[in-house]
Chains A and B, each alone.
Chain A
Amino acid sequence: MLVLGAQFGVMGVQEQYPFDVEALRADFPILDRKVGGDPESPGEGPGDDTPLVYLDNAATSQTPDQVVDTISDYYRGYNANVHRGIHQLSQEASVAYEQAHDTVADFVGAAGREEIVFTKNTTEAMNLVAYAWGLEELGPGDNVVLSEMEHHASLVTWQQIGKRTGADVRFIDVTDEGRLDMDDAAALVDDDTRMVSVVHVSNTLGTINPIAELADLAHDHDAYIFADGAQSVPNRAVDVKELGVDFFAFSAHKMCGPTGVGALYGREELLESMQPYLYGGDMIRRVSFTDSTWEDLPWKFEAGTPSIAQGIGFAAAIEYLEEIGMDRIEAHEDLLAEYAYDELQGLGGVEIYGPPGDDRGGLVAFNVDGVHAHDLSSILNDYGIAIRAGDHCTQPLHDEMGVAASARASFYLYNTVEEIDALVEAVGEARDLFA
C-alpha cells in the first residue's frame, strides 16, 4: 500500500488507491450496466449504450453481491417472523436479526445491542428521540441547538417539536468556508439548552463537524447531544463513546446495505428512561386490558414486525465494509474528494460549496456559472453520469448560500479517478453549451 497523502506526482492518483478498487467493483454488478444517452449521436432516440458513472452515493450507495446474497439467503432459507415462534425457522431468523444488532453495536463502539435500536432510517431515529424524549421533556424556556447545515431530518423534526412544546430552536452559524462557527455555538448553548442536534458530516458542504467538542459543550450545560451520522458512518471509523454522543443515527442504505433499515444509538440509561415511541406487538412483555409493560432494550422501541431481511442485510454490509477496513475506505474517499475538488476548481466557472478539498467528506456540491443544477444533471445524465441536483434536503442552507439548488457528486469505495475525469469533462461540456 502506498503512503497516503503523498503528492500526486508522476504516478497516477490511481497508484494511491488504498485497496484494489477494480477488483472490488466486481462485487457490484450494477456498476457494469449501461444507461441511455450518447451526446455524440443526437436524434437517434433513447439508447442504452453509455457506461454508468454512479456519483450519487450520498443519496444511496450500491449494494454488493455479498449483501444481496445474505438477504436472498434469508428469504430462500429461513424466512420467518422473529421473537414469536418456537419453530426452527423463527429461531434462526430471530438469532440472525438479534445478532445484527450486535454487529451494528460493535461497528460504532456501542456497549451492546441494548444501545442499538433498528429504525426505518436516520430520519425515523431522529423522530424517535424527538417524540419519546423531546415531547416529554421539552417546554417553554428550554432550547434545542441545531446548526444551519442540518439535514431536514433533524431541522424539520426539532422545528416542529419546538412548536409543539414551546421550546426555542436555535441554529449555529455556518462560516463562509462552510464550517460551524464554534464561537456562535458557545454563545447559543446555555443552561436552558436540553439538546444539541448536529450533523456529523454535512451532506451538502461535506464539512466534518467537531462532534466531540460539541459534546463537551453540551455536557458542560447538562444538555444531551444527538449527532446525525448518515454521511459519516459509511465512510469513516466512528466510535460513539469516543465522540461522547448521547444519541447517534445512521442508515444502512448509504453504506452498502438495503433500504428500510437504520440504527439509533442511545446511551443505555437514556433509552431505559424513555417511554416507547410506537406501541404494538413485539415491544411488550405483559398486556392486560388496562395496562402493559415493555420489553427490554432495544425491543421496547421496535414495535411490530421489523425489517428482518434488511436488518440482517445491514449486518452483512458492515461485515463487507469491515473486511476492506474503514480507515482505508476513508482514505479512498479523501483521495477522490480532493481530486474532484481540485479538478472541478480547475475547470473555471465552477463554484464549490464548503471546506477545501483536503478537509471534507467524500462529496462535492457545486454550481456552474449560467447553468441551473437541474439542467446540469440532465446533461450529465446523457453522459451516463448520475449526480444529485436540488436542495439535498437542506433548503435553509441553500437559502444562506443564495441558490435554489446545487449539483452534488458524492463518492464511495468503488468510485475511480477515471469516473471523476468523466464528470469533470461533462461539466465542462455543459458549461460550454450554455456559454
Chain B
Amino acid sequence: MIKRRRAPATHAARTAALFLGALTAAALLASVLMPDAAATLDLSYRRAAPSLSHWFGTDELGRDVFVRVLNGARVSLAIGLLSALLSAALGTAIGVTAGYARRWIDDVLMRFTDAMLSVPRLPLLMIAAAILQPGVPLLVLMVGAVGWMETARVVRAEVQSIATRDFVTAARGIGASPARVVWRHVLPGVVPTVSVATTLAVGRGILLESALSFFGVGVQPPTASWGNMLYQAQTTMMTEPWLALFPGAFIFLTVLACNSVSARRDAGPRPVLAHTGRRTQLERITPLS
C-alpha cells in the first residue's frame, strides 16, 4: 500500500546535503587548524568592513567574523543535531508505548503530549534558560525536551495502525513477547516517519538555540554562536551591518538546508496508514514568531 512518487526536489536536496557537509567539514577543520583564531584579538584592526583579508569583516575587538561564524557553526550544528536525536528517541519511545499499550497508558501519555504542545515553545525555553543558565550540554537537553511531541503523535498513529496488521497478529500468535513484537515488527515500520520528523527537528533546534542566544539566555560569550553574535551585533548594526548579516545568513542557510533535505524525503514515499488508508499526518510547522 505504499505509494511511490518521484521526489521533485532531488537537485535541491543534493545541494542542501552538500552545503551541510561542507559546513560541518569547514567547522571541524577550522577548530583543528586554527584552534585559537576565533579568540585572537587584533585591536588595531577593529570594526573592519569585509575585505580580502577578513572575508566577513572584524568585530569590535578585532576578531575575524568568518572564523567566528565557523566556530558558531560547531555549536549550532551540535545543538541542532543532538537535540533532534534526543527528540526522536523520546518521541519514538513515547509514541510506541502509547500506541501499542493503548488504554490508560495511552491516555496519560497523550494528555501529557497535548499539554506540552499547548505551551508556547520559545517562551517556555526562554524562561527555563533564564533560570537554569545552561551550558551547551544542558541546552541540548532543553531543546530536545521540547521537540518530541510531534514525533510522538505521528509514531503513535502509525503504531496503532501497524498493530492491527496480520503480521503483528501472527507474531503474537506464535508467542512472541510484546518487546520482541515492537522491536522486530512495529519499529521498522515507523523509521521513515521518524527520520523525516528528525531532519525537520534539526532545523527547528538550530532556530531555537539561536533565538535563545539572541535574547542573551542561550550560549554565553566568549563561546561564539550565531545567535549570540547577532545579539552583540544589534547595538552597532547600523554602522557595522556585516556583524549582523553573516551570522544570520548562516542560520538561515543551514535551517533551509535541513528543511530541504527533509522536504525531499517527505515528498517521497510518505507511508500510508495500513488500517485507515490515510497518509501520515503532515507535521505542523510552528514559526518562531
A binds B: no
